[in-house]
Structure 1
Amino acid sequence: MFSTPEFWVLVSFVIFVALVWKPAGKALAAMLDGHAAKVRSQLEEARRLREEAQRTLAEYQRRQAEALSEAEAIVAHAKAEAERMKAQAEADLNQQIARRRQLALDRIAQGEAQALAEVRAATVDAALAATRRLLVENLDRNRSDALIDQAAAELPKRLH
């Protein structure tokens, strides 16, 4: 067994593998440790990025909720403002209608008063004309002179 060359090749191979295995194992272990450290670093970076993405997502969701509530508040305010403006427009319209109605009633009353004054004036004119006619027909010269003198005498009393 010690005399066969296969045995010595096997022994030299085992010695060679044992000598090479130790530094190669260290190098292989160092390479694997480096790779494991790199993987751990990448996993930690991925975890950090995931947490940051979750925080960013939560922030955007919060902002979206705030924007939605703000939009709802704006819509509610706009509706309330529209209702207020509608009520104000109705009140203004009612006031304007009341003013125009009162103006029309005043004009009608003024027209009635003017028509009544014109009728009275026409009545007075007609009465005066009838009185003149009667006086001219029924009054003689002496009687008219006496009435004129009497009116002239009463004039100072009536003026005071």
Structure 2
Amino acid sequence: MRHVLPLALLTGTPAMAASGPYFDLANTDFVVMLGFLLFVGILIYFKVPSRLMSLLDDRATGIRGDLDEAKALRDEAQALLASYERKTREAHEQADAIVAAARAEATSAAEQARVDLDASVQRRLTAAEDQIESAQKSAVREVRDTAVSVAIAAAGEVIAKQLSAAEANRLIDQSIETVAAKLH
């Protein structure tokens, strides 16, 4: 490639089509061509093309590295996005589970409250029935006691009117003997 370039530069120049001797220092085209060849020679001597190629290769390597890094960052971002989406989905599932558990617990608490209320009402009804029954028994006992008191008082009056003093003394003596016999 190095040897082909100077030959190609020399063969296809417009200076070849000019009239007169070409290889003369008075010909400006020839001088320009010599200057150009000298310039290209100096560039080749100082290895400018290889340095340019090296710089371009370094630049290409840097760009390739940047592209690889960008691809890695993109993959990492996609992984993070997938992770966040998964966490969001899990959080929604947990929230749904919490709501379902709260609803179930509320339903259970309401049912338990209903059962407790029914039991409380039943206990109160039973207590009220017991109080009513106790009040009835108490009233019946009080009526009996009153009836007995009235009957005793009436019997006492009747006996007091019909009983003579001698018979009363005999009954008292008989009661004393009965009590004395039972006490000893």
- TM normalised by structure 1 equals 0.84
Gaps of 5+ in 2: 1-20
Between 2-11 and 62-71, report the one with greater CA deviation.
2-11
Aligned to 1:87, which of 97, 100, 111? Answer: 111
1:123 aligns with 2:147: yes
Instruction: Please state how far the C-alpha of 1:8 moved relative to its aligned partner.
Output: 3.6
1:48 aligns with 2:41: no
Matches within 5 A, 1:92-107: 92-107=116-131
Matches within 5 A, 1:2-151: 2-3=23-24, 4-22=26-44, 23-145=47-169
How many correspondences in the alignment? Answer: 159
Question: Take 1:46 and 1:20, find their aligned partners in 2: how far apart are those partners?
Answer: 40
**Letter of the aligned partner of 1:96 in structure 2?**
S
Aligned-pair identity (%):
33
Higher helix share: 1
Between 2-11 and 52-61, report the one with greater CA deviation.
2-11
Question: Take 1:156 and 1:110, find their aligned partners in 2: how far apart are those partners?
Answer: 39
When the two chains are superposed, the root-mean-square deviation of aligned CA atoms in Å is 2.3
Question: Take 2:92 and 2:118, find their aligned partners in 1: how far apart are those partners?
Answer: 39
Instruction: Please state how far the C-alpha of 1:21 moved relative to its aligned partner.
Output: 4.5
Gaps of 5+ in 1: none
Higher relative contact order (CA 8 A, sep 6+): 2
Question: Take 1:85 and 1:32, find their aligned partners in 2: how far apart are those partners?
Answer: 77
Instruction: Please state how far the C-alpha of 1:18 moved relative to its aligned partner.
Output: 3.0
**Letter of the aligned partner of 1:57 in structure 2?**
L
- Structure of greater Rg: 2
Instruction: Please state how far the C-alpha of 1:58 moved relative to its aligned partner.
Output: 0.5
